[in-house]
Amino acid sequence: MMPEQFWKILEITIMLALLIPIAATLVWVERRMIGIWQDRHGPNRVGPFGILQSLADLLKILGKEDWIPPFSDKIVFVLAPVIGAVCVLMSFAVVPFSPSIGVSDLNIGILFFLAMASLSVYSVVLAGWASNSKYAMLGGMRAAAQTVSYEVFMGLSVMGVVLLTGTFNLREIVLAQTDGWLIQSQFLGFFIFLVAGIAESHRLPFDLPEAETELTAGFHTEYSGLKFALFFLGEYLSVTLISAMSVVLFFGGWLMPAPLDTWLPPLVWFIIKIMGFVMFFILLRTSLPRPRFDQLLAFGWKVMLPLALFNLLVTAALKLSGVL
């Protein structure tokens, strides 16, 4: 095996070994922050500051019976959560964490990310269909409509970034922001991308595919044990992925903020920015109510689509005129 291949396999292994515990850590962070913002105690019993609560919950989930309903399509039922987790993990392959850290430097990095985001909808749709349950099926249908709708706006929102940088390569997009982050000229595109990312990851207030008050748990109603844990892994890694992509596309990736002269490694700056977005995701959960499903789709097609097209047309016009 060539030395380059060995180091690449080692890098992939290390990244997988870090990403999976990140999901469990985010569960604890979310509970603690929600407790602080709602003026109550979060997890504080198991371990210092309750940090071992997520480990206890994980052991509890893995210790539950891995039950497959006899009325389900067994093969598809088992494959559905695996598809979701694999799609999210593969998306991280094109994320440049620093000038020297990143699994793959694809020239079509943005397109690969959008493709994986599109494929992840198969996970929830197949889970809802294979469960052969009316609540799960409704959740799967909601997820399909929601994801297919908002991925259109997500794709249009990043086209302004492509127009300004002239590349689909994520590493080159970061380097193109050396003289100024794209959030300055693409604030509208960033807003559309962030809202679409929240909808794609099924986070509050857009968690309608798994609305507990209406669908008990939505597409994963019939799941338990390891398969249920895979759905949670995919959800929390999706939050991290959308945060990472927001940083790469609009906030300079690993680049240090211009007003600051404090030296920190590029990877540390990247992590700090990601954590800021993760906190924002958590804050949304504590503060916003859940809309009706028809309101969600109407907002997408009547508000988000015109805004995305307006942003793309204005960016193209300013680029051609030489202003940007």
Phi/psi class of residue 287: alpha, beta or left (left: φ > 0; alpha: ψ in -120 to 50)? alpha
Paired tokens of 10: 């080692």
Using N-to-C axis directions, what is the helix angle for 305-321 and 187-200, rounded to 10°?
Answer: 150
Render each residue's pLDDT in the chain as its tens digit; 324 residues.
Answer: 567 777 777 777 888 888 888 888 888 888 888 888 888 888 888 888 888 888 888 888 888 877 888 888 888 888 988 998 888 888 998 999 888 887 788 888 899 999 998 888 888 888 888 888 888 888 888 888 888 888 888 999 999 999 999 899 999 999 998 888 899 889 999 999 999 988 888 777 777 766 666 666 677 778 878 888 888 888 888 899 999 999 999 998 888 876 666 678 888 889 999 999 999 988 888 888 888 888 888 988 999 999 999 999 999 999 888 777
- pTM > 0.85: yes or no: yes
Instruction: Return the ∠ at Cα 231 (arms to 225 and 236), rounded to 5°.
Output: 125
- Domain coordinates of the chain in residue numbers? 3-321
> How far is Cα 69 from Cα 79, in angstroms, rounded to an integer?
14
pLDDT, tens digit (0-9, with 9 covering 90-100), for 101-160: 877 888 888 999 999 988 888 888 888 888 888 888 888 888 888 888 888 889 999 999
How many CA within 13 A on the CB side of residue 300?
A: 27
Residue 200 contacts residue 193 (beta carbons within 8 Å): no
End-to-end Cα spacing for the chain: 47
